[in-house]
Structure 1
Amino acid sequence: MESNGLEDKDVGPEVQISFPESVTSRIEEFMGGSEQFDSEEFDAVSYINRVFPTEQSLAGVDSAAARCEMRLAGVEADIRRLVRDQAQQRQDGHEGLLQAQQCISDLALQVTDINKKAGRSESMVREITAEIKQLDRAKSNLTAAITALNHYHMLCGAATSLRAMASQRQYSALLPPLQAVMQVLEHFERYRDIRSLSALRDDVTALRRALAAQILADFKEAFTAGKASTVSAKTLSEACGVVDALEPKVKRELLTWFTTMQLQEYEHLFSAEQECAWLTHVERRYAWLKRHLLAFEDGAGNVFPRSWKLSERITTHFCEVTKTQLTALLAARRSELDVKLLLYAIQKTYAFELLLHKRFQDDGAALPAGAGAELDVVVDPHAVFDADAKDPGSLGGAARPGGPWVGIIGSCFEPYLSIYISSLDSNLASLMDRFIQDAKTPLAPTAPAAEAGAVLSSCADLFLFYKKCLVQCAHLTTGEPMLELAGVFQKYLRSYAGSVLRAALPRAAAATTTLALVANLQTLATNQPAHTQRYSAAEISRVTSVITTAEYCLETTVHLQQKLKEKVVPRLAERIDLSPEQELFHALIGDCIAALVGELEAACEPALQAMARAPWLHVQTVGDQSTYVTQIIMHFKNTVPNLRDNLASSRKYFTQFCIRFANSFIPKFIQNIYKCKPISTAGAEQLLLDTHMLKTALLDLPSIGSEVKRPAPATYTKVVIKLMTKAEMILKLVMAPLEGVGGAAGGGEAFVAQFVQLLQDATLQDFHKVLDMKGARLGKAQLAALDALFKRAGAKRSDDS
């Protein structure tokens, strides 16, 4: 065939090309459809069976074969034609590629020629401009030389004139040439190697040094000689401008001398040997500076430029001297220091620092009056440490205003603030003693309705005092003393929880215990339930008040910790931790709830005992709920509504009470069910009815006696249903038959299977208790067989799980 003439290079690996379904359908549409032989799902056997369905149709095999051969020949002809066309297209593409390469070679030759011409043009331009550049360089050098000569001439003349004007103290006329000389010297900085310039520079430097010494001497003469001075204020004012033009150290030296000279009188008047130096006269120090600044600004202050801020410099030096003197005095006379004197000095100092802040750093905002006064505040006890509440007496809610003045003197008192903290400790101790005495006062027979479950007033008093202490201490410092204050707060929070709140809890008196014992004996004799109660209504109200108070303390302690961390410097914030005190209040609330649960259990205990003593074996018919159930429900109605009302503001703890009571009472009820033995089938049915009625009462416990019926919390409902269902299952097992057709051993397997299914977490001891309730008379062999069945059923259940 002609296709055999193809070159080997045209033969390559087959490439499978997959087109999207939309493309394939479009190709088939363009090509007039595809043959069914091209389909991937084509089945030759099915096709032959469809074309030749019967033996008679086999007669057309030859004609069909002829058609196939004709079609095959047509396909081969198409293939040969396509191969020839492909060969021609390959040759045309090769010729086009050669032509493109030739074009690229021609373009590269043209680019090379252009680059050569550009190089020749650049060389020609460089030759033309070379002489022009030389002329420009010569012009620049000539200009620089002329400028340097002019500067040198000016420098020589200025040095002579400056010396003459300095000798005559013509400071106003001296300033412009001096500034010009300073600029010229900067220009000649690069010419240090020229000898004449170096000599001239040294001459100017010596002149400036002499000028600085002369000005300083003029100031000393003017401010020490008094009226005998020959230097006028105008001359000094002009000399200040010259000082600004000299080296910065000249100005520093002059200002240091002047501020020291201004405070010589102060240092003498308030030296350590003088009585007025002690803290009792600290206000005199600040009054002296006020008078001195007024006199200075009216007189000598007019000599100096405003930009020098002489008043501020004098004040800063005054503060430094005062701080040094007070630090030495406090160290030497620490034994004479008490909290009253310390607070007086701190308040006067703080007020003075605020005055300086307003005088020198005022940005237009008025400071509050009496910012350093005592802070007698009244705060809402329900928002004592609210983050949004502003501290009374503070600047916009902040502990201290910004700026460098506040604390510039007062920081010397910080090491002695432990005296203040000790005073707060003593005050809190006295306050706590009063709280303890109030907690020990005898309870009234009945608590007023307005006070039942209310927060104790001592709690609000305590945190109001904490508020005042925190605000005051934050005004004094934000450093280590704040940690001491936090320690004092922790100490008295623990004391309040243990000595006040726990002391406020009622105790069951010995007489009450004796009466309860007598009542139980009477119950045994008369078979009647005894009504015992450890707490009176007033005592229960006191317990609920302790719960609400402990909750208030818990929440407020969290806010207190946040405020302490906000007030203290950031590096100390992590050392403040009141979580142990919070846990203490948590534990106290838990103990109170346990006491209330125990109280209600004690009230229901006689009814449970009556249930255990009832003759269940002789019950023949099932009636209404038993008397003991009525008594238990009565105790619920007498106790729970009062608790719910008292804990209306602490709903979550009332829910905890209900859950803890259910978890404690229902297991006791189940234990008393086990005591009801033996029991008849009717007795078991009656007990099952009672259990259902008690379950209904327990589910309604959170809203019992309330006009508004609320659904019980889901957690509580789940606990009650789970535990009471176990009680119901026990009674259903008691009613279940034990003996079958084959005797106890034969029928016991079904009973054991039912027992394991209904009480999946029961033990062998529970199994024996149910058998005792049924009154089953079993021999040792029968009991052993039942035990073996129970153990096998339990093991099988464990394997399945």
Structure 2
Amino acid sequence: MHVHDELPHEVILAIERVLELKSGQTDADPLDALSNDFDPVGLLNDFFPDEASLAHIASVQARLVESQREIQREIDALQLELKQNQDPTRMHLIQEMISDLFGQMSRIREKATESEAVVRNITKDIQVLDLAKRNLILSMTTLKRLQMLVNALTQLEDFVKEKKYGEVAQSLSAIKQISGAFKQYTSVQRISQVWKRIQELQGEIRNHLDRDFDAFYLQDPAKPVKPAVIADACSVVDVLGPDVRAQMIERYVAIELKEYRRIFRTTDEAGQLDNISRRFAWFRRLLQTHEIEQGRVFPSEWKVGWHLLAKFSEITRDDLAGLLSKSGAPLTVKALLDNLQITADFEASMARKWATPFREMLNITATSHSAPPKTITSAFEPHMGVFVDAQDKALADMLAPHRKTRGLKSPRPSLDVDHDTPDDGDNKSSPIVLPSSTELFYFYGQSLEQCAKLSTGKPLFDLATVHKKWLRIYAEDVLVAGLKRPISQMRKSTESRFEVSELQQSALVINTADYCQTTALELEEKIRSKLNDEFKDKLSLQAERDQFVSVISAGIVVQLRELEAACEPAFAAMTRSSWTTLKQVSGQSAYTADLVNAVDQVVESVKPLVEQKKYLRNFLDKASSLILAKFTNSLVKSRPLKEIGAEQLLIDLQTVKACLLKMPGESLTTTTYTRGLTKSTTRLETLLKVIVTPVDPPEGFILNYTLLIKDASFSNFQKILDLKGTPKAEQNNLLDSFLTITSTNDDLEGTSFLSSLDMDPGGPAQLNSNLSSPGGSRVSLPLAGVVGATGESGIFANLTSPGTSGPSTGTSVADGRQGPGDRGQVFSDFRRFVSFGLRRDTQPPTQ
């Protein structure tokens, strides 16, 4: 089928819907399919699957002809049906029938409306009667209620006269319930009179109750009041409402505590601070008398005992606050804590008595219009500064022997550590951390528990502030001071032996600082769990923990300083090496054995001393950087190197690399460490391989430089010539050729790792933030990928890049940094190019 003969998809779907064909049926006749993808070859293969089937071609043809006839008859029938359905006369008839149907529906709707109006007229009178019936029922019900109210009011008057409080409670409750239905009818005169009488009766009842309760409270022998009468009267008070009940309780509490106010006046001896226990003993006796005598008549839900306690607490708190504020002599810590402890014990005993927290009892008994209640112990909080100051002084006294003193014996110079390592029997009991640190946190825990029992508000927060202060002092005056050498023991510039005692002291400080920063976090969580909510967000010991981390870093620097001292003789020997006199390469140099031995001694001394592996890894990372930095500095100082010297240094570098690779041991070696070390040594190897290459022919030497270094920096190429020891006369020709070759190569970078190489490493001491030479030498070769590295990772990552073409050989390149826009340029501006040409003209002619 051609493209233009294809049927649209919509037409195919319409035909299938008319012929009731379902697409996708597996058992359907392929000839019935209306798809545009009809395949006649496949159908013929179905009819004639093999050659033998060709003998039945006549029968197949006859069957197809019969199928064609049936389809044609079906088409004729459909065409006839379609013609009949599209008859205009029939369509007109259908439209008329629809119109008649709409007319019938309209007539039915009109008749329904008429019927509704007729029914409404018929039931109009009935609705009036229904309304009259409802009004009559309501009137009868209201009259009956009014009658009941009047009868109950009459009975209540009789009960009040006879003081039958039990019946008064029941009758008054019924009256209040019934009278609620008449609030909307108070404009009716009769109901208004009844309502007024109810109010008058309630006033009379309250007067009777006041007199009877007062008589009961005062216990007049001439007119005794039976407890049963007061018990019934309490039920009447409950009916009158919570305001009346509160007044009755308040009256009772005031009478009971009247004697307390008189006895314990703050101007009398009994009311002084040293007699605070007598106050609580008096209240316990009062509470016991209340529970045995008057308190038995009160309903339990009134919680009169709680109200007595709340009022007693209020009076006592005000008295104590006044006494503490007006105290003439300074308040001692012992007096404060003793009185506070007595008060806290009293509050705890009351909480145990009623199995309810003391503050919750105060909150339940407080009135809505009064200020939030406070505990008795809250009177001591403004004066808890005495306790906090005492803790501050105690901490000062406790740490005084440890501040600015060293906890270990004086160091002695020695390279022999066989008898001084922690594995020796004499040192098996050596502490892992300074005992003063455990004493400090033990003291913290004791003072925290003591203060939390007395107050969890501002005093506890102030105590936490004191704890923070002494953590900072401990870190600075004890730990950091322990890392500093006494002036009498300062290492001389010519002394090159490391101190085992320094390593032990620094490891002890590192372990102690780690213990302190970990325990400080636990301390913060413990204080936060006890503090009141308003102070929790203000508490943080993060700054103190950071300070201990800084102490750990300082301890690692001390260990690196000792490592540098141990390695200094070997690097000094390397610096003094005369590479120009070497005739051939003969194995590793003698200084490498001393270097490896010194590194092994220091590292093996440090490993068993430091507890946390993460700090050991940090030390090893920085130690590796330090060794490579010193190696590079010594290499630069020992120039000129010449080709034979560079080959010898390549062998020596492999020895140093092997030493550094095995330095951590199996348990501390990481992929990051190995990768960073390999990257650093690879750049050094690249530097030495360029120096090994002969300068003749110049094109080959320059090509080798561009392939290995991959930059077009004029100053970097001049550094290679300087390290190689190329004569000045030859340098001009090589620099000319370098400028010519690299100016046409746009693929070269403007800088490389050589840009950070310091050609004058003997300058003033410069500590680097990531890794510095603790002894003062400038570090120009940090380990790539070490902990704390920033910026570009690699050999020269810690030094700044040079400014474009850079200064002449021998000057420091740490003063400028090349911007990204200078990459791929030999000279950054015309002035530098002219100065280069003038320098060439002033050179003597080549010999």
1:30 aligns with 2:31: yes
Q: Which has the higher helix share?
A: 1
Conserved 8 A contact 1:548-1:650: yes
> Greater shift after overlay, 484-493 or 110-119?
110-119
1:771 aligns with 2:728: no
Secondary structure of 1:227 counterpart: coil
Conserved 8 A contact 2:23-2:33: no
1:485 aligns with 2:463: yes
| Deviation at residue 449 of structure 1 after TM alignment | 3.6
User: In structure 2, which of residues 585, 589, 613 is the aligned counterpart of residue 651 of structure 1?
Assistant: 613
For residue 736 of structure 2, what is the aligned residue in structure 1?
A: 785
Instruction: Structure 1: give runs of 5+ residues left out of the alignment.
Output: 1-13, 40-77, 368-399, 520-531, 704-708, 741-747
Query: CA separation in 1, counterparts of 2:636 and 2:560?
Result: 23
User: In structure 1, which of residues 751, 755, 758 is the aligned counterpart of residue 708 of structure 2?
Assistant: 758
Secondary structure of 2:86 counterpart: helix
1:673 aligns with 2:640: no
> Greater shift after overlay, 210-219 or 503-512?
503-512
For residue 684 of structure 1, what is the aligned residue in structure 2?
A: 646
1:502 aligns with 2:480: yes
For residue 243 of structure 1, what is the aligned residue in structure 2?
A: 237
Amino acid at match of 1:429: A
Query: CA separation in 2, counterparts of 1:511 and 1:455?
Result: 24
Amino acid at match of 2:524: Q
| Deviation at residue 480 of structure 1 after TM alignment | 3.0
Query: CA separation in 2, counterparts of 1:163 and 1:25?
Result: 98
- Change in 2 beyond 3 A, CA 1:159/1:542: same
1:270 aligns with 2:232: no
Conserved 8 A contact 1:756-1:794: no
User: In structure 2, which of residues 508, 517, 536 is the aligned counterpart of residue 545 of structure 1?
Assistant: 508
Query: CA separation in 1, counterparts of 2:629 and 2:733?
Result: 30
- Change in 2 beyond 3 A, CA 1:121/1:328: farther
Amino acid at match of 1:250: V
Conserved 8 A contact 2:712-2:748: no
> Greater shift after overlay, 289-298 or 139-148?
139-148
1:300 aligns with 2:294: yes
Amino acid at match of 2:385: S
Query: CA separation in 2, counterparts of 1:198 and 1:630?
Result: 118
| Deviation at residue 601 of structure 1 after TM alignment | 1.3
- Change in 2 beyond 3 A, CA 1:33/1:454: same
Query: CA separation in 2, counterparts of 1:458 and 1:402?
Result: 45
Query: CA separation in 1, counterparts of 2:519 and 2:483?
Result: 21
1:732 aligns with 2:689: yes
For residue 374 of structure 1, what is the aligned residue in structure 2?
A: none
Deviation readout 1:129-173 (Å, 9 max, x if unpaired): 555555554444444333433333444444344333322222223
Query: CA separation in 1, counterparts of 2:283 and 2:695?
Result: 106
User: In structure 2, which of residues 529, 535, 539 is the aligned counterpart of residue 572 of structure 1?
Assistant: 535
Conserved 8 A contact 2:212-2:230: yes
Mapping 1:76-475, distance limit 5 Å: 88=82, 92=86, 104-116=98-110, 118-119=112-113, 122=116, 126=120, 133-333=127-327, 335-362=329-356, 404=363, 408-436=375-403, 439=406, 442-443=409-410, 446=420, 449-450=427-428, 454-475=432-453
| Deviation at residue 441 of structure 1 after TM alignment | 5.7
| Deviation at residue 671 of structure 1 after TM alignment | 2.2
Query: CA separation in 1, counterparts of 2:486 and 2:217?
Result: 87
Query: CA separation in 2, counterparts of 1:234 and 1:700?
Result: 96
Query: CA separation in 2, counterparts of 1:480 and 1:794?
Result: 73
Secondary structure of 1:797 counterpart: coil
How many residues end up aligned between the 2 structures? 685
Query: CA separation in 1, counterparts of 2:685 and 2:117?
Result: 115
Amino acid at match of 2:393: S
Conserved 8 A contact 1:607-1:631: yes
Q: CA RMSD in A?
A: 3.9
Conserved 8 A contact 1:452-1:646: no
Mapping 1:599-678, distance limit 5 Å: 599-647=562-610, 649-678=611-640
Deviation readout 1:357-395 (Å, 9 max, x if unpaired): 2223459xxx9xxxxxxxxxxxxxxxxxxxxxxxxxxxx
Secondary structure of 1:533 counterpart: coil
For residue 368 of structure 2, what is the aligned residue in structure 1?
A: none
For residue 757 of structure 2, what is the aligned residue in structure 1?
A: none
Deviation readout 1:384-418 (Å, 9 max, x if unpaired): xxxxxxxxxxxxxxxx9999599622222222222
Amino acid at match of 2:264: F
Amino acid at match of 1:422: D
**TM-score of the two chains, using structure 1 as the length reference:** 0.76
For residue 553 of structure 2, what is the aligned residue in structure 1?
A: 590
For residue 768 of structure 2, what is the aligned residue in structure 1?
A: none
| Deviation at residue 628 of structure 1 after TM alignment | 0.7
Amino acid at match of 1:200: V
Query: CA separation in 1, counterparts of 2:689 and 2:483?
Result: 44
| Deviation at residue 17 of structure 1 after TM alignment | 5.2
Query: CA separation in 2, counterparts of 1:347 and 1:483?
Result: 19
Conserved 8 A contact 1:452-1:542: no
- Change in 2 beyond 3 A, CA 1:148/1:661: same
Secondary structure of 1:712 counterpart: coil
Query: CA separation in 2, counterparts of 1:220 and 1:788?
Result: 117
Query: CA separation in 1, counterparts of 2:615 and 2:540?
Result: 25
> Greater shift after overlay, 720-729 or 29-38?
29-38
Conserved 8 A contact 1:172-1:239: yes
For residue 388 of structure 1, what is the aligned residue in structure 2?
A: none
Instruction: Structure 2: give runs of 5+ residues left out of the alignment.
Output: 1-6, 14-21, 41-71, 365-372, 413-419, 751-822, 825-847
- Change in 2 beyond 3 A, CA 1:154/1:431: same
- Change in 2 beyond 3 A, CA 1:36/1:151: closer
| Deviation at residue 632 of structure 1 after TM alignment | 0.8
Query: CA separation in 2, counterparts of 1:18 and 1:488?
Result: 91
- Change in 2 beyond 3 A, CA 1:576/1:764: farther
User: In structure 1, which of residues 721, 728, 740 is the aligned counterpart of residue 678 of structure 2?
Assistant: 721
- Change in 2 beyond 3 A, CA 1:504/1:95: farther
